[in-house]
């Protein structure tokens, strides 16, 4: 949040999975409720609410979801219950997953990317879910690249349509453990991928203290 303030943003959007892995689900919900202008529901939010069957998750993800369900406070539950996995604003379509399946689809290959472009008309499509920062341009064979810190993507009028994934603030999976996010500048018509360092060890300690699976805390230091 401090990094976005330093960037001077006018609005904050969250693409879902506010809860599910971390040790402070209620605090995360409070921050998102108070300081974002748009928020989607992710599959982890939905399983914690019971809108997705617990059997959809296994292993460490299931254990973390069960713990989160037990500690989630009524106000947090009420906020998450009001969210949907997709939304639209002028010129932008937003999905936790993809336009075809806003909850479960991972936009990571040409087939899903091409289907996502065909299913929408907006110049910009924002997706989450994979925890990997990506930029994909449309065309007969959509081309994509993993986005590194400070990578800049032009969003020119009349230019190629884009699918952008800002990556994950809480659990990036592209080998860079720093919190990953995206700045969309409508005046200069460009998007810039950002990375912010945080005290990973503190989060790991809190996860261990709460009895969350050790593998979930260990992976934070590796960004996987």
Q: CB of 198 within 8 A of CB of 178?
A: yes
What pLDDT does residue 140 have?
64
For helices 25-35 and 74-81, angle between their N-to-C axes, nearest 10 degrees: 50
What pLDDT does residue 156 have?
81
Within a 13 Å sphere around the CA of 166, how many CA atoms are in the beta-carbon half? 24
Average pLDDT over residues 82-90: 97
What pLDDT does residue 110 have?
86
The answer, yes or no, to whether residue 158 has pLDDT greater than 90, is: no
The answer, yes or no, to whether residue 56 has pLDDT greater than 80, is: yes
Considering only CA atoms, which of 182, 117, 186, 193 is closest in space to residue 151? Answer: 193
Give residue-wise pLDDT tens across range 174-205. 999 999 999 999 999 999 999 999 999 999 99
* Alpha-carbon gap, residue 192 to 96, rounded angstroms: 20
Give residue-wise pLDDT tens across range 95-147. 999 999 999 999 998 889 999 999 999 999 999 999 999 999 987 667 778 99
Q: CB of 200 within 8 A of CB of 210?
A: no
* Alpha-carbon gap, residue 21 to 25, rounded angstroms: 8
Q: CB of 95 within 8 A of CB of 49?
A: no
The angle formed by the CA atoms of residues 110, 113 and 115, to the nearest 5 degrees, is 110
Give residue-wise pLDDT tens across range 12-24. 999 999 999 999 9
* Alpha-carbon gap, residue 97 to 126, rounded angstroms: 9
The answer, yes or no, to whether residue 61 has pLDDT greater than 90, is: yes
Phi, psi of 216 (to 5 degrees): -70, -35
Residue 54 pLDDT grade (very low, low, confident, very high; cuts 50, 70, 90): confident
Domains contained in the chain, CATH given: 2-215 (3.60.21.10)
What pLDDT does residue 157 have?
78
The answer, yes or no, to whether residue 173 has pLDDT greater than 80, is: yes
């Amino acid at each position: 949040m401090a990094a976005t303030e330093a960037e001077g943003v006018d609005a904050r959007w969250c693409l879902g999975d506010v809860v599910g892995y971390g040790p402070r689900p209620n605090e995360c919900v409070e921050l998102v409720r108070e300081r974002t202008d748009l928020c989607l529901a992710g599959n982890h939010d939905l399983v914690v609410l019971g809108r997705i069957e617990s059997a959809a998750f296994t292993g460490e993800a299931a254990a973390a979801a069960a713990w989160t369900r037990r500690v989630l406070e009524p106000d947090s539950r009420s906020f998450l219950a009001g969210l949907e996995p997709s939304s639209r604003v002028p010129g932008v379509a937003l999905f936790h997953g993809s336009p075809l399946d806003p909850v479960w689809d991972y936009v990571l290959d040409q087939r899903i990317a091409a289907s996502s472009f065909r299913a929408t008309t907006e110049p910009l499509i924002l997706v989450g879910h994979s925890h990997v920062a990506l930029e994909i341009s449309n065309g007969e064979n959509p081309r994509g690249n993993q986005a590194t810190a400070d990578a800049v993507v032009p969003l020119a009028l009349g230019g190629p349509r884009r699918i952008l994934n800002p990556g994950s603030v809480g659990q990036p999976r592209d080998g860079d453990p720093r919190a990953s996010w995206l700045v969309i500048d409508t005046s200069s018509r460009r998007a810039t991928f950002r990375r912010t360092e945080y005290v990973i060890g503190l989060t790991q300690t809190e996860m261990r203290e709460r009895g969350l699976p050790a593998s979930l805390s260990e992976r934070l230091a590796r960004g996987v």
